[in-house]
Amino acid sequence: MVPRTSPMIDQNGKVSQDGLPGVSFIMPILNEARYIERAVGSVLGQDYDGDKEVILALGPSSDGTNEIVSRLQSREPRLKTVHSPTGATPAGLNLAIEASQYPVIIRVDAHSELLPGYTRVGVATLERTGAANVGGLMDAKGETPFQAAVARAYVSPVGLGGAVYHSGTEPGPAESAYLGIFRREALVAAGRFDETLRRAQDWDLNLRIREGGGTVWFDPELKVTYWPRSSWSKLVRQFYATGVWRGELVRRHSARNSLRYFAPPLLVAAIFLGSLSAALKLFGVTSLLPSWGARAATMAAWAPVAYPAWLLWAIATSGEGMSLKERLYLLFVLPSMHISWGSGFISGLLKGATDQVDTSR
């Protein structure tokens, strides 16, 4: 039985019309000129009868994003902005939370688009389950063959399909949530977003919510369209930075991380050691190793061969409905994601993340 929390009322002790709680949408923004209008439009178009406000945390964009926001704000009174000097995601989120007024906080990403019923279903799920945070499916999509391949990798078990919000089908308690529909009281009690984390701050916050006795709830009815990075260089930089920060989280919360996070770094280590073993075998150096070392080197030497073979199998089983061009991109995208994420993880685990920035933004 999920424990129930207090009714959702705003900071003035009121609920919205028809008894619905008001909701505050918060969105950190940095260089999102390509996506910001669609993201804001999907929020303003929510089919929800309660009070709404949208708070954008504006970072120091250099691509005209802030000018677009200013134009949108001139014709929409519910659209508010706060200045986010660093442009860092957790700092922007906390600034937006501080400026918000309603008892439900809905995190939105500039690369995301909400379905019209997202808020209505999410708030009803909060009330029904008593959860502290509710999230749904990241429905990744692409406008180009490359982006479509990245989107397929996001939802495939051979790509990023391990987390429930990538491919889950059954509602229930979850480790974390994509974006999130929060009870303000639970979010504030958990300490808000950790501003020392440039990435994975959602997972960290949800961990603190769960450790404080709250429930994080997954509802597959909630779907959010997500537009992945549109170029190879941005994808690699994004995944490397994400891997670095996951390594940092393992340093901070070692026993609380799922085993699936260790698969990419183990792959990178296996490919490196396998390539080294193959070179040693080629030059006859393995003859200098003890028998157990020679056997280990021989086994490791298969890794650089086995991984491409596995990739071909993965494409064959995960590429249903994709065009030939998209499948070819997927063959390129999967190792790019795995190796950049795994390499970043190893770096973050060994050295920490310090101030590693996702330069893909």
Same domain, 309 and 199: no
Q: What is the dihedral of CA 240, 243, 248, 251, to 10 degrees?
A: -140
Q: Report the pLDDT value the prediction gives residue 2, as an integer from 0 to 100.
A: 38
| Separation between Cα atoms, residue 217 and residue 125, nearest integer Å | 9
Q: What is the span of the domain harbouring residue 294?
A: 252-350
What length does the chain have?
Answer: 361
Same domain, 164 and 25: yes
State the pairing for strand pair 216-226/112-114.
antiparallel
Which of 212, 228, 244 corresponds to the end of one domain?
A: 228
Same domain, 210 and 153: yes
Q: Would 361 be classed as within a structural domain?
A: no
CA distances from 149 to 233, 316, 328 (A): 15, 13, 8
Q: Would 241 be classed as within a structural domain?
A: no
Residue 38: both structure tokens together: 């669609």
CA distances from 69 to 78, 119, 203 (A): 12, 22, 29
Q: How many CB atoms lie within 10 A of CB 321?
A: 6
Nearest-CA neighbor of 80 among 91, 90, 93, 70? 70
DSSP alpha helix (H) spans, 156-221: 164-167, 184-189, 201-211
Could you say which residues of the chain have pLDDT below 50?
A: 1-4, 13-14, 16
Same domain, 83 and 191: yes
Q: Would 71 be classed as within a structural domain?
A: yes
Q: Report the pLDDT value the prediction gives residue 252, as an integer from 0 to 100.
A: 84
CB 25 within 8 A of CB 108: yes
Q: Which of 284-319 are b and which e, b meaning 16 or more Cβ less than 10 Å from the residue's Cβ? A: eebeeeeeeebeebeebbebbeebeeebeebbeebb
Same domain, 288 and 322: yes
Long-range Cβ pairs for the range 66-74 (8 Å, 24+): 68/33, 68/36, 68/37, 69/29, 69/36, 69/40, 72/36, 72/37, 72/40
Q: Would 295 be classed as within a structural domain?
A: yes
Nearest-CA neighbor of 131 among 5, 306, 11, 286? 5
Name the domain count of the chain. Answer: 2
Q: Would 246 be classed as within a structural domain?
A: no
CB 179 within 8 A of CB 108: yes
Same domain, 150 and 265: no
Helices (H) and strands (E) in the chain, counts: 13, 9
Same domain, 188 and 263: no
Q: Report the pLDDT value the prediction gives residue 99, as an integer from 0 to 100.
A: 95
Q: What is the dihedral of CA 280, 281, 284, 287, to 10 degrees?
A: 100
Start-to-end CA span in the chain (Å): 42
Phi first, then psi: give them for residue 220, nearest 5 degrees.
-65, -10
CATH number for position 198:
3.90.550.10
Give the SS3 label for residue 155: helix
Same domain, 188 and 295: no
Residue 139: both structure tokens together: 């429905």
Q: Would 11 be classed as within a structural domain?
A: no
Q: Report the pLDDT value the prediction gives residue 280, as an integer from 0 to 100.
A: 65
Same domain, 196 and 274: no
Q: Would 67 be classed as within a structural domain?
A: yes
Q: 114 forms bridges with which residues in the sheet?
A: 224
Same domain, 269 and 176: no
Amino acid at position 280, single letter = L
Q: What pTM value is reported for the model? A: 0.81
Which of 194, 228, 262 corresponds to the end of one domain?
A: 228
Residue by residue, DSSP assigns 3-22 as PP------TTS---GGGPPP
Q: Which helix (H) or strand (E) holds 330?
A: helix 324-351
Same domain, 218 and 265: no
Q: Would 119 be classed as within a structural domain?
A: yes
Same domain, 195 and 279: no
